[in-house]
A = this chain, B = another copy of it.
């Protein structure tokens, strides 16, 4: 299973692609950061993020995309742009018919370090070890995207099954929002 993890942002959007399966070794396929200028209008920045992610999706052809879940209560100043970059990533995946999952930062940290409150250095160290890299992945910014992709490789199957059960139960119960 090949998974693209996306750590959404307008200034820096981390992208990490990993191959693996639960209980099998992981392999690094790609790591990079899509950047846009803080001086550009927001619509142009969203277009830059979309074009960057679309080029990577078309080149690397992942089986699924995992996007970091953004919370409204954190970083109020930048949260709207982060949410919009996440939306652009989900849209690009949906256009290609790819399943999209969201994982929280704590879930990704817990998946790779065993601790949902691990710091950046711990996450980078474990990502380096799990992918059997000789040096830490560069750019460092994208370690979170790799952690997210690894988290999805390990949790993805289970979560997809839960989600389809939930949707089935909801549509049977007619529980609209």
Contacts and interface: CB of A to CB of B under 8 A. Distances in A.
A125 interface: no
Interface string A30-55: 00000000110111101100100000
B50 A91 contact: yes
A4 to B, nearest CB: 13
Interface in A59-92: 70-73, 76, 79-80, 83-88, 90-91
A171 interface: yes
A100 interface: yes
Given A80-B72, A84-B84, A43 B163 contact: no
Nearest to A46: B91
Report which residue of A11, A47, A76 has the largest number of chain B beta carbons within 10 angstroms of its beta carbon.
A47
A167 interface: yes
Contact of A94 (B11, B43, B76): B43
Given A72-B79, A83-B84, 5 more contacts: A41-B100, A43-B91, A46-B87, A47-B91, A84-B86
27 contacts: A38-B176, A38-B177, A39-B167, A39-B171, A39-B176, A41-B163, A41-B167, A42-B90, A42-B100, A42-B102, A43-B91, A43-B94, A44-B94, A46-B87, A46-B90, A47-B95, A50-B95, A71-B80, A72-B76, A73-B76, A80-B83, A83-B84, A83-B87, A84-B84, A84-B87, A87-B87, A88-B88
Interface of A: 11, 38-39, 41-44, 46-47, 50, 70-73, 76, 79-80, 83-88, 90-91, 93-95, 100, 102, 163, 167, 170-171, 176-177
